[in-house]
Amino acid sequence: MGFGDTSYDVAHVLGGGMLLISFVLLYQRRIFALVNALALQGVVLALAAAWQGHVQGAPQLYITAVIALAAKGVLIPIYLRRLVMQLPPARRAEPASGIGASMIAGFLLVGLSILVVLPATAGARALAREDLAIALSVVLLGLLMMVTRRTALAQIAGLMTLENGLVLAAVGVAGMPLVVELSTAGLVLVIAVIAGVFARVLHERFDSLDTSVLDPHRGEGT
Amino acid sequence: MLLGACFLALLGLGALGATGRAPRWVFLGSAVASAGLGLVGAIGLPATPLPFGPPWGAAQVAVDALAGWFLVILALAAVPACLFAAASPPPPRAEGAGFPLFLAGMALTLIAADGFTLMLGFELMSLASWALVAARHATGAGRRAARLYLAFAAFSGICLIGAVGLLAAGGGLGFAAMRAAPPEGWRAAAVLALVLLGAGSKAGLVPFHVWLPLAHPAAASPVSALMSGAMVKIALYVMIRLLFDLSGAAQPAWWGLPLLGLGVATALIGALRANLERDTKAILACSTLENMGLMVAALGLALAYRGADLLPLASVALAAALLHALNHAAFKTQLFLSLGAVYSLAGSRDPDRLGGLIHRMPWVAGCAILGALSAAALPPLSGFASEWLLLQALIQGFRASDMSVQLIAAASLAVVGMAVGLAAAAMVRLVGLVFLGRPRTPRVAGAPDATGLMRVALVLPTLLTLVLGPLAAVALGVLDGPIRQVLGPQAAAPRFGLELALGEGGSRYLPGLVALLLALVVGGLVLLVRRRSPREPARGPAWDCGFLPPPPHMPFGDPLSQVSALGLGQPIRRSLGGLAIAPREWLVNQPPGSPAAATLRVEGQDRGFTRLLYPLARARRALSREAEQLRGLSLRFYLGLTFGTLVSLLALVALLERG
Amino acid sequence: MAVLGGLLTQLLHIALMLAVAPLLVGVVRWLKSRLMGRRGPHPMQPWRDLLKLLRKRPVLAEGASLVSRVSPYVALGATVLAAALVPSFAFGMALAPMADLLLIGGLLALARVALALNGHDAGTPFGGLGAAREMTFAVFAEPALMVCVMVFAVLIGGTNLNAIGHGIADGQLGLRVSLIFAAVALAAVALAENARVPVDNPATHLELTMVHEAMLLEASGRHLALWEMQAALKLLVWLGLLATLFLPYGTAAPGSGPFAWGLGLVLWGVKIGLLALALAVFESAIAKMRVFRVPEFLGGALMLALLAAALIFVSTGLA
């Protein structure tokens, strides 16, 4: 298991592709482009899961792949696009501020996850170690996106990235039980958040998808 | 013998200069004496005790390979500067006296072979250069710059005395004795910290860089050239001498990391500020910061590689630092003198009052453009060769076994790359503002070119820059000696024949061949194109971008329709400026109905002031307020204070005795 | 024999680069027109323009100096030398030992500085503006390029372009995530260096946001021809660089015969054609960004390059 070994290389490149798309998400300010990148990440995730199913000989991973492809690659992006279409054009992009800082923060987070994962997994196979580092980076970048973005849709994108990272970590570990269940549960969570009238309610009550509008209402209703 | 003669000559010239008579001969004599010192540097001198010295032993002097290299650099910077000074109008008497003493101080630091002489030379250099800065300014901003410089010089002197004292604690003040007993443990760490503070603040390392862009431009042009071309190199020499040579070869690899970090930070901030300054000499001084940062970063790499037993890489890094010291001395001396010539002949240091000087001063402009291209690190000129070595040394950082060191090398590479790009931008801005375009004032439109001795003073370092580019490998061959001396007999300068190469089969750069091929290609292009289109160009008005045509009393067009110094710096100020300065931009709106134009004001202050000096000053004021309050306390409280002090002193003594 | 082959390939290569460069510009323009639903000029049009311009007498601005007359030659000379170092159909050309990536970067920087000085020379507002912006973009592009060079140096051990291309073509290295990251970073740098769409618009002349064309406003006649050739050759150098670094497959090995050269030539044409198509599609699909967003764009490229370096350290540390 090392470089030049196809099974290693392809898995590695797919993981790296997901990380790259995470950076695109972090950089992109237009929401349409965000949704497209998210769809692409779902497809890459599906490919990664299918490849792992092939390499590990674990058929249940194919189920994960199909779920990822159908839900994250096709259905959710279509739904999100329809949501975005309802927005006025001025709301379809965020003000471009702090991109440089968030990119640097993203770079530092990747460095952090490498430095954390590598010593912690000493003794495991090289493939698992590096893939885990990449998956953790994707998760952290998703969190970073949820923290730094202001509009609800971008935060949903962050949440989906986070969940993609978790699934990537799960499929990369050979013999991990409950992978299908995990990915399905994650998916249900994401769908719940999206469909959970979050965006709708905001849209109707405040005529804005900016979650900072909610701040003055903290503590109300208790 | 020659050495002694040169020193006596310099001291005598200092005395003559103090009388204020025959200033031209003072400077010409200084030129001859510094050339003699350079010769001594090239020959070398074994350690010789002098017949006089401090009460505890004779002072010693020696010129080994390392000191010789720096003596040559000193001479190469000093000769043109002295010639330029001789060609300038007679200076104040203090300057005539200080100039030879300044040279003598720098040379004494280099030839010293014991700690006392080293510090004597260093302090002489500091004081003389302070006098030279202060000589031209009785009051005002220049005087404040001189005062700030004096404070920093005193600080660096104190730190260095501490470092030398720590090194001498093992044996004695002689370099041989210090080498025999290298410092260990906390003493070594303290030496590193003190040298970084002392020599670092002389070299302008962050965060002690604030004085340099103020003090270097405040002096007369040849003095600025010497300070930027030679004096900061003396600080570099002291760093190499104390950290590499006298601290022994057994120091750990992490020693290099503080130097590397401070070096790249200085390079970035210096290059950034060079793009923001509005004074030609300050731009050059900030570019000096950048180059010193690169050299110190190379030194740090060399220390780190030596500690990690990667001797070939250590020699690449050290060669980068030493070669860049030489190249920088050549092009920076030349640039300061060129801009000095512009100052004295066209009457301004403000780029917004210059412009288009290439038409009126072809010699000065030609020299300055070549120097600026070299400072921008473009092949095949001299600056590129040494920066190529530095970049290669950084790129090879992946050979370190520790991943954090690899990451630091990658990040440093990114910062150095940015600094190199910024330096190129700064040089293009400087040349574009001062020499290209249209004149911005009538005075500039009638400026004469440099003639006689002044022209010689400009052409000499320009030739040196031109020669050092293609022949960088020859200079590296000379560097074998200093590198062996510092890194041990197995080390060698990274070259094969006429090329710069990292080991056999490694990356290589053939500066001579690149220059030759470039000349061939450009020549061929000229021949081809001119054969097809032989006619001389015609002249026509430039497209005016929709501005109104200038009125007849402005024969060179409206100066406002050229980009200003601030305007050229705007893209970099907007994108990166906040790193180096605290910039403020605000719009000055006219009241409604007023015909005057609204203006955009920009101000910026170095973060060194806002982060370091102002807080220090505030702390001092706060302390003195506290002390004032102490006077109003009751007697009992006074007694308590005294008692507490006594008890804590006793506790300290007890602690020290146990430890 | 090997020396002779090296010399022959070198000369053929230089001729090929010079011949293809304007054609490449023409092809990209033609592809873009087609993608936008226009007929577009013939791909040979840039060559015709060049030959016409070369015969014309230049008109210099009144404030222009010697710099305006010298800088086009210097810039094109430096670019030609850089083009001679980037392999096309064969490795092991006569100048191969010189083909250091940092040197190529330095030569392109020399051309860039010559262009910026040319922009300053006439003393017009646009010229200075364009020069300042061009140099600012380079501040971000250069470190990204250098860190990418470091990634390759980690894989191959040195910075020689021939050794790198050869080592990657061998296939011993496999697919690497870092290479993907580095490819994206270098592609962004290439877009910025060649004044292509998200950074600058090569198709317009009178835009307040322009960079590259602003420095050439006062160039005319043979000087303009030299500058246009320089821009075209620079584009080819960058595409060739991307092809050599990331798709070096099929390029003839050192010392091989004419058949391998022919194969290499065909494959090189295919690679450059694909890259040109990708460029045209990308330029048609994307809008130009504000000037002050360009540093962010290139800063992103720098971050990706640093990530590539970090990942390559990890994988070489593990292997």
Residue A1's pLDDT is what? 39
Task: Name the residue with higher pLDDT: C148 or C156.
Answer: C148
Residue B44 confidence class, pLDDT cut points 50, 70, 90: confident
3-state secondary structure of B533: coil
Please indicate if any CB of chain B lies within 8 Å of the CB of C295.
Answer: yes
User: Burial of B443 by CB count in 10 Å (0-12 exposed, 13-18 middle, 19+ buried)?
Assistant: middle
CB atoms closer than 10 angstroms to residue B153? 21
Instruction: Report the pLDDT value the prediction gives residue A2, as an integer from 0 to 100.
Output: 46
* Distance from chain centroid for Cα C218: 24
Residue B392, pLDDT score:
94
Asked, as a colleague might, if the bond just before B207 is cis with ω within 30 of 0, I would say yes
- Could you tell me the two tokens for B220? 């007369």
pLDDT digits 0-9 by tens, B357-410: 999 999 999 999 999 999 999 988 999 999 999 999 999 998 887 778 888 999
User: In 3-state terms, what secondary structure has residue B121?
Assistant: helix
- Interface membership of C300 toward B (CB under 8 Å): no
Locus of tokens 């092939």: A54
Burial class (CB in 10 A: 0-12, 13-18, 19+), C147: buried
Two structure tokens written together for C126 = 């646009």
CB contact under 8 A, B424 and C138: yes
Contacts of residue C266, Cβ cutoff 8 Å, sequence gap at least 6:
none
Confidence at residue B607, expressed as pLDDT on a 0 to 100 scale: 81
Nearest CA in chain C to A6: C174
What pLDDT score does A219 carry?
62
Q: Chain B within 8 Å of C282 (Cβ-Cβ)?
A: no
Question: Which has the minimum average pLDDT: A42-56, A185-199, B224-238?
Answer: A185-199
Q: Please give the tally of structural domains in chain C.
A: 1
- What distance in Å separates the CA atoms of residue B547 and residue B79, rounded to the nearest whole number? 48
User: Dihedrals φ, ψ of B594, to 5°?
Assistant: -75, 135
Identify the contact set of chain C against chain A, taking CB-CB distances under 8 A. Answer: 171-178, 180-181, 184, 293, 295-296, 299-300, 303-304, 306-307, 310-311, 314-315, 317-319
User: What values do phi and psi take at B504, rounded to 5?
Assistant: -75, 130
pLDDT of residue B3: 74
**Which tokens is C82 given?**
């850089």
Q: Is the pLDDT of residue C35 over 90?
A: yes
Q: C169 CA to chain B: closest CA distance, Å?
A: 19
More confident residue, B51 or B396: B396
DSSP C286: S
Give the list of residues 6+ apart from residue C138 with CB closer than 8 angstroms, or none: B421, B424, B425, C109, C112, C193
Q: Residue A184 and residue A167: Cα distance in Å, rounded?
A: 9
Q: What is the mean pLDDT of residues B319-329?
A: 95
Q: Answer whether residue B258 shows pLDDT above 90.
A: yes
Q: Is 60 exceeded by the pLDDT of residue A201?
A: no
Q: And the tokens for C270?
A: 């295919």
pLDDT surpassing 90 at residue B612: no
> What pLDDT score does B53 carry?
73
- CA C75, CA C149: separation in Å to the nearest integer? 23
Report the pLDDT value the prediction gives residue A172, as an integer from 0 to 100: 76
Region C141-159: what's the mean pLDDT?
A: 92
Does the pLDDT at position C191 exceed 90? yes
Chain C residues near residue A15 by CB distance under 8 angstroms: 177
For B179-188, B203-212, B542-551, C149-158, which range has the lowest pLDDT when averaged over its residues? B542-551
Residue A192 has what pLDDT? 67
* Cα–Cα distance measured from residue C147 to residue B523, given in angstroms and rounded to the nearest whole number: 34
Rounded distance, CA C176 to CA B70, Å?
46
C139-158 residues touching B, CB cutoff 8 A: 139-147, 149-150, 153-154, 157-158
Cβ of C59 within 8 Å of Cβ of B539? The answer is yes
Q: Is the pLDDT of residue B521 over 90?
A: yes
Q: Which of residues 84-123 of C touch B (CB under 8 A)?
A: 84, 95, 97-98, 100, 102-103, 106-107, 109-110, 112-113, 116-117, 119-123
Q: What pLDDT score was predicted for residue B477?
A: 87
Cross-chain CB nearest to A13 (options C171, C180, C184): C180
Contact status, residue C251 vs residue C87, Cβ threshold 8 Å: yes
Nearest CA to A23 out of C242, B405, C180, C288 is that of C180
Residues of C in contact with A104 (CB under 8 A): 303
Q: A129-146 pLDDT, tens per residue?
A: 777 888 889 989 988 888
- Chain B partners within 8 Å of C133 (Cβ): 571
Q: What pLDDT is recorded for position B587? A: 80
pLDDT number for residue B419: 96
B494 phi/psi in degrees, rounded to 5: -75, 80
- List of chain A residues whose C-beta atoms are within 8 Å of the C-beta of residue C303: 23, 103-104, 106-107
**What are the residue boundaries of the structural domains of chain B, listed by start?**
252-516, 608-658
Q: For residue C174, give the nearest of A4, A19, A126 by CB distance.
A: A4
Is the per-residue pLDDT at A100 higher than 50? yes
Tell me how far apart the alpha carbons of residues B104 and B234 are, in angstroms, rounded to a whole number: 12
What's the whole-number average pLDDT of chain C? 90
| Cross-chain Cβ contact B437/C122 below 8 Å | yes
Least confident of A179-183, B41-45, B123-127, C24-28: A179-183
**C24 in contact with B, Cβ within 8 Å:** no
User: How many of the other CB atoms lie within 10 Å of CB of B19?
Assistant: 12
pLDDT number for residue A202: 55
Amino acid in position C94:
A
| B407 → chain C, closest CA residue | C310
Structural contact between residues B361 and B450, judged by C-beta atoms closer than 8 angstroms: yes
Higher pLDDT among residues B445 and B270, named by residue? B270
pLDDT tops 90 at residue C27? yes
For the cut 80, the answer to whether the pLDDT of residue A215 exceeds it is: no
Out of B152-156, B500-504, C146-150, which region has the weakest mean confidence (pLDDT)? B500-504
Q: Which of C116, C46, C68, C110 is nearest to B521 (CA)?
A: C110
Q: How far apart are CA B324 and CA B294, in angstroms?
A: 9
pLDDT for C208 beyond 70: no
* Cross-chain Cβ contact C300/A10 below 8 Å: no
Percent of chain A with pLDDT over 70: 72
**H or E segment at B606?**
strand B599-606
Asked if B522's CB is within 8 angstroms of C73's CB, the reply is yes
C173: chain A residues, CB-CB within 8 Å? 3-4
C-beta atoms of C171 and A96 within 8 A? no
Only one residue has tokens 């927005």, namely A87
State whether B513 and C98 contact (CB < 8 Å): yes
Whether residue C281 has pLDDT greater than 80:
yes
Distance from CA of C252 to the nearest CA of B (A): 21
- Chain C CB contacts of A120 under 8 Å are none
Tokens read off for C219:
């160039």
Dihedral class, residue B57 (left if φ above 0, else alpha if ψ from -120 to 50, else beta): left
SS3 B174: strand
Give residue C213's pLDDT.
86
Main-chain phi, psi angles of B114, to 5 degrees? -145, 160
User: Domain ranges in chain A?
Assistant: 6-194
Burial of residue B330 (number of CB atoms within 10 Å: 0-12, 13-18, 19+): buried
- State yes or no: pLDDT of A207 exceeds 70: no
Distance CA B565, CA B557 (A): 18
> What's the rounded Cα separation, in Å, for the pair C102 and B507?
10
Residues of chain B contacting residue C302, judged by C-beta atoms under 8 Å apart? 414
d(CA C109, CA B617): 44
Residue A195 or residue C42, greater confidence: C42
Q: What is the pLDDT of residues B97-134, one digit of tens each?
A: 888 899 999 999 999 988 889 999 999 999 999 999 88
- Give the one of C176, C303, C319 whose C-beta lies nearest to A2's C-beta: C319
Q: How close C238 gets to chain B, by Cα (Å)?
A: 19
Averaged pLDDT for residues C26-50: 94
* Residue B275: φ, ψ to 5°: -85, -10
What is the band of C11 on the pLDDT scale with cuts at 50, 70, 90? very high
Q: Which residues of chain B does C107 touch, with a Cβ-Cβ cutoff of 8 Å?
A: 379
For residues B521 and C77, is the Cβ–Cβ distance under 8 A? Answer: yes
Q: What are the structure tokens assigned to A116, written together?
A: 């954390």
What is the Cα–Cα distance from A134 to A153, expressed in whole angstroms? 24
The predicted structure's pLDDT at residue A197? 45
| Contact flag A20-C296 (C-beta cutoff 8 Å) | no
**Which among C175, C300, C307 is the nearest to A9, CB-wise?**
C175
Question: Residue-wise over B156-186: b if at least 16 C-beta within 10 A, else e?
Answer: bbebbbbbbebbbeeebbbbebbbeebbeee
Cα separation, C193 vs C279, whole angstroms:
14
Least confident interval from B123-127, B532-536, C77-81, C169-173:
C169-173
Give A133→chain C minimum CA distance, Å.
Answer: 10
Q: Which letter does DSSP use for residue C160 in this model?
A: B
CA distances from B268 to B206, B246, B273, B580, C193 (A): 10, 30, 9, 8, 22
* CB within 8 Å of C52: residues ≥ 6 apart: none
What residues form DSSP beta bridges with B500?
Answer: B495, B509
A12·C173 Cβ contact <8 A = no
pLDDT band at A124 (very low <50, low <70, confident <90, very high): low
Mean pLDDT confidence for C34-63: 92
Contacting residues for C253 by C-beta, under 8 A, at least 6 apart: C90, C91, C92, C166, C260
Q: What is the mean pLDDT of chain B?
A: 88
Interval C83-134: pLDDT, tens: 999 999 988 889 988 899 999 999 999 999 999 999 999 888 888 989 999 9
pLDDT at A222: 46
pLDDT tens digits for range A53-93: 888 887 888 888 888 888 888 888 888 888 777 777 766 77
pLDDT at A67: 84
Q: Which residues of C touch B521 (CB under 8 A)?
A: 77, 80-81
Q: How would you write chain A as a 3-class SS string?
A: CCCCCHHHHHHHHHHHHHHHHHHHHHHCCEHHHHHHHHHHHHHHHHHHHHHHHHHHCCCHHHHHHHHHHHHHHHHHHHHHHHHHHCCCHHHHECCCCCHHHHHHHHHHHHHHHHHHHHHHCCCCCHHHHHHHHHHHHHHHHHHHHHHHCCEHHHHHHHHHHHHHHHHHHHHHCCCCCCHHHHHHHHHHHHHHHHHHHHHHHHHHHHCCCEHHHHHHHCCCCC
Residue with tokens 């300054």: B277
Please indicate whether residue B316 or residue B496 has the higher confidence score (pLDDT).
Answer: B316
- Digit-coded pLDDT (tens) for B294-305: 999 999 999 999
Chain C residues 174-233 with CB within 8 Å of chain B: 217-218, 221-223, 225-226
Q: Is the pLDDT of residue B505 over 70?
A: no
For residue A217, give how far its alpha carbon lies from the nearest alpha carbon of chain C (Å): 35
Predicted confidence band at B551 (pLDDT cuts at 50, 70, 90)? confident
DSSP class of residue C253 equals: P
Tell me: cis bond preceding B183? Omega within 30 of 0 counts.
Answer: no
Mutation site for C-interface testing, chosen from B269, B357, B378, B449 by largest number of C Cβ within 10 Å = B378
The mean pLDDT value for B259-273 works out to 94
What mean pLDDT value characterizes chain A?
76
Domain that holds residue C172: 2-318
Using alpha carbons only, give the angle A142, A144, A150 rounded to the nearest 5 degrees: 100
Q: What is the largest CA-CA distance in chain B?
A: 100
CB within 8 Å: B417 and C145: yes
- Determine the distance in angstroms separating the CA of A193 from the nearest CA of chain C, rounded to an integer: 30
CB of A110 within 8 A of CB of A137? yes
**B478 burial class (0-12, 13-18, 19+ CB within 10 angstroms)?**
middle
The CB-side HSE value for B243 (13 A sphere, CA atoms) comes to 35
Residue B59 — very low, low, confident or very high, per pLDDT cuts 50/70/90? Answer: confident
